[in-house]
Amino acid sequence: MSWSLPVTCTLMETVSTGWAEMLRPGLTVLVRMGRESGETASEAAMEQCASVEREVDKVLQKFLTYGQHCEQSLEELLHHVGQLRAELASAALQGTPLSATLSLVMSQCCRKIKDTVQKLASDHKDIHSSVSRVGKAIDRNFDSEICGVVSDAVWDSREKQQQILQMAIVEHLYQQGMLSVAEELCQESTLNVDLDFKQPFLELNRILEALHEQDLGPALEWAVSHRQRLLELNSSLEFKLHRLHFIRLLAGGPEKQLEALSYARHFQPFARLHQREIQVMMGSLVYLRLGLEKSPYCHLLDNSHWAEICETFTRDACSLLGLSVESPLSVSFASGCVALPVLMNIKAVIEQRQCTGVWSHKDELPIEIELGMKCWYHSVFACPILRQQTSDSNPPIKLICGHVISRDALNKLINGGKLKCPYCPMEQNPADGKRIIF
């Protein structure tokens, strides 16, 4: 898909920070995905990925070498200039005229600065050529006409495409905590984002930043204010936050024992569901004076609890606020990496057989593409009669006998105002069928 975003230098400078370090993980993921699906991926495709990865490795190595050389050269220059400045200051204090030797040293210093700057600029240009070779390697090894996989009639207008793509990028940036970059993109792309849309992401990132700093206050305050809705989701977030705070008090040693006992009263509402875990924490108090590190309860001090609470908070908060845990842009990209080779093959077959009308619907693909269990988000039902997946316009209908078929199949099976189940001989009134929502 060809598209353009009105991104100026300010945004590019913001986004490009550390881009070299970001290239390797992305390509590594693609290569790993190819290896995991080795039964369907060809060796040629793997070689293409490896070829691009080799070019990226060269660029990363040049960035590393250039950075080290640049830092060393600038440090030498600063040291040399510092010494020269001290000598000039000493001569000025003594009131002596500038000697011929000192004048020569100044000329040599200026020449050295000029030569160093020119050398660094020249090395920087060489990096530009290496970066461009990465783009050429991608163009050489991969099909650049991805937008031709489907006809233009399948998509909305170009303006609509650009707006949807921009919104997906902004949502991804908000979800990853890159708030300043998202704001910059909104300003430069003239994309209007409501405060109601941004507020959940701002709040979640604020709380997650506090958790990364091992500050439980904002998360506890949020969990208490949303206690009833979290209970409806069968969430144990609030209990885990109280447990982690209790563990922090235990880590404080015997001096915190009375405070820990007092705080244990927060466990009372959770006693029925988390009785065993509460008993373990209470039992740890016996070893508090001897040190939990050498006791059977040393696992309570494991730092993995902080990573776990961040994951729990993200999952439960996103579920409560109606947000996806993973960025929709990331999921779409990962799914596209799996589906694109198959779609390109389908495109070639369609062109060879001249059956361009096979794929004309916006809401479905010409064939089923297996994306793996990770991309299963909801249940689907295929009608056993028509062999078609049900939809909002053709929902699944449960008959009195318990068998389930699609509404279209039900309408086709009606004969004389009566319906006979295709799986059992029971006759029934079609109006008695009930829609099922999975």
User: Which residues, 6 or more positions from 128, have their beta carbon under 8 angstroms from its beta carbon?
Assistant: none
Two tokens at 51? 């070829």
pLDDT for the residue numbered 256:
85
Nearest to 22 by CA among 253, 178, 180: 178
Instruction: Tell me which residue of 139, 175, 184 sits closest to 5, measured CA to CA.
Output: 184
DSSP 18-83: THHHHHHHHHHHHHHHHHHTTTTS-HHHHHHHHHHHHHHHHHHHHHHHHHHHHHHHHHHHHHHHHH
Contact (CB, 8 A) for 264 and 239: no
Residues 6 or more apart whose CB falls under 8 angstroms from that of 155 comprise 1, 161, 362
Specify the pLDDT at position 241.
92
The predicted pLDDT at position 46 comes to 72
The pLDDT tens digits for 96-107 are: 777 788 888 888
Instruction: Show the tokens assigned to 377.
Output: 């988000």
Phi, psi at 37, each rounded to 5°: -105, 45
Spans of the chain below 70 pLDDT: 1-45, 143-148, 150-156, 355-364, 366, 378
The pLDDT score that the predictor gives to residue 24 is 43
- pLDDT digits over 265-310, tens only? 988 888 888 889 999 888 888 888 888 888 888 888 888 889 999 9
Question: Tokens standing for 284?
Answer: 């740890």
pLDDT score, position 38: 38
- Of the candidates 58, 55, 47, 56, the one whose C-alpha atom is nearest the C-alpha of residue 142 is 47
Q: Rounded to an integer, what distance in angstroms lies between the CA atom of residue 377 and that of residue 318?
A: 15
Please name the residue ranges forming H helices in 189-256. 195-212, 217-225, 227-232, 237-251
pTM: predicted TM-score of the whole model, two decimal places: 0.54
So what's the pLDDT on residue 242?
A: 92
CA distance 347 to 336: 15
> Is 413 within 8 Å of 419 (Cβ atoms)?
yes
Provide the pLDDT for residue 360.
Answer: 60
Q: Which residues pair with 415 in a beta bridge?
A: 418
